[in-house]
Structure 1
Amino acid sequence: MDYLLEGEETARLLFRKVLPSDYDSWLPFHQEPKSTQYWDGTQPNPEAACEEQFTNIFLRHKNKTGGMNALILKEHNVLVGLCGLLVQEVDGSKELEIGYSILPKYWGLGFATEAAMKYKEVTKQNKWASHLISIIQIDNSPSQRVAEKNGMKIEKTTSYKNNTVHIFRIDLA
């Protein structure tokens, strides 16, 4: 399942499928060193990192292992971030993760929280999963705050893709 919220909305955001033409708008995320400061193993070259991310987004759609939506600011019709549900394997178990990233110029404005809360709500309504997780590097306090505002609590600390992470979880039952 791709878990896309195509056409769904929040107060400020419109959810749509990520398009190849979003690449140039998303590249500034990878050009900002703070975007990847918490995660080891990302491409050092911004263009290569953005290409790798877009390749993975489209592979996930094709393979039905989750998907990312483009988050469009309705007021200005511009891309502000990405958010979606991703099938992940954590410590040998398949999990459904809410993942989110926001373009640096829109950090701190609540877009990640708004989008993540919408995904939680729709997941519960559609009974896509009994719980959701977010995989967050242990020093990434901004992403941890988003998870906490979404009602998630730290379930455990583990290693994921050679990074020490907290697994935040919320039960939806």
Structure 2
Amino acid sequence: MNYLLKGEKTLRTTFRLLKKEDFVTWLPIFKEKDTARFLGMKTGLTTEQKCNKWFEKAFWRYENCSGGMNVMIHQESKKFVGQTGLLIQKVNGLRRLEVGYSILPEFWNQGYAKEAAARLRDIAFEKAYDKDFGNSLVSVIHEENTGSIQVALYNGMTLEAPLKDDSNPERFFVYSISREEWEALKNDR
């Protein structure tokens, strides 16, 4: 299963796959001061090199059925808002399904990450994708990325554990939500 969400929608956006032509549109995210650190990338790379690494990883995921990021297109303006997706990750020695999201700076603080993360969470549990990953979903977040931490908490996730990664000097934490917690959350709505 590839866990790609082409054609899925949130309240304001529609998902499509990333294309090579999106490179220039996606560059601004890597001009932001902390983006590389928050994404676990080497900080000595140029903006173009960081963006290139992102695209290489995205296309590798598509080709290897490891989930992947979907471009979020605003339904009315047709603008590229950001990327979101379900990603198969190795997290603290276990194969996990991650809810990932990155929003272009011009769309920060407008609720797009919360909207996308909640939609991905619901899709993953409704389609029982979580069953292959311990009946839970995760988001791996840099300790200083307060915006993403707020999105994870909004999404019903709680702090599970620090990420064990000796290859990266930055500190990341694993936030998670179980199927049982999601069902309780769904029933409270």
| TM-score between both structures, scaled by the size of structure 2 | 0.87
User: How far is 1:41 from its partner?
Assistant: 2.2
User: How far is 1:11 from its partner?
Assistant: 1.2
Give yes or no for the alignment of 1:31 onto 2:31.
yes
Give yes or no for the alignment of 1:50 onto 2:55.
no
Identify the structure with the greater helix proportion.
2
1:165 maps to which residue?
Answer: 172
User: Residue type of the partner of 1:28?
Assistant: P
* Secondary structure of the corresponding residue to residue 41 of structure 1: coil
User: How far is 1:94 from its partner?
Assistant: 0.8
Instruction: Give the distance between the partners of 2:34 and 2:43, measured in 1 at CA.
Output: 12
Q: CA 1:120 to 1:43, structure 2 compared with 1: closer, same or farther past 3 Å?
A: farther
Asked if the contact 2:37–2:43 (Cα under 8 Å) also holds between the matched residues in 1, the reply is no
User: How far is 1:37 from its partner?
Assistant: 4.6
The sequence identity of aligned pairs, in percent, is 36
1:106 maps to which residue?
Answer: 107
Superimposed CA distance per residue, residues 115-158 of structure 1 (whole angstroms, 9 cap, x where no aligned partner): 11110111111100121000001111111000001000001113
Instruction: Give the distance between the partners of 1:93 and 1:42, measured in 2 at CA.
Output: 27
Q: CA 1:34 to 1:75, structure 2 compared with 1: closer, same or farther past 3 Å?
A: farther
> Which residue among 140, 154, 158 is the counterpart of 1:149?
154
Give 1 or 2 for the bigger CA radius of gyration: 2
Structure 2: state its 5+ residue gaps: 181-189
Superimposed CA distance per residue, residues 58-87 of structure 1 (whole angstroms, 9 cap, x where no aligned partner): 000000111110011112101110101111
Give yes or no for the alignment of 1:132 onto 2:133.
no
Alignment of 1:7-22 (within 5 A): 7-22=7-22
User: How far is 1:36 from its partner?
Assistant: 2.8
Instruction: Give the distance between the partners of 1:42 and 1:135, measured in 2 at CA.
Output: 18
User: How far is 1:40 from its partner?
Assistant: 5.4
Asked if the contact 1:35–1:104 (Cα under 8 Å) also holds between the matched residues in 2, the reply is no
Aligned residue pairs: how many?
A: 173
User: How far is 1:2 from its partner?
Assistant: 2.3
Q: Cα RMSD (Å) of the superposition?
A: 1.4
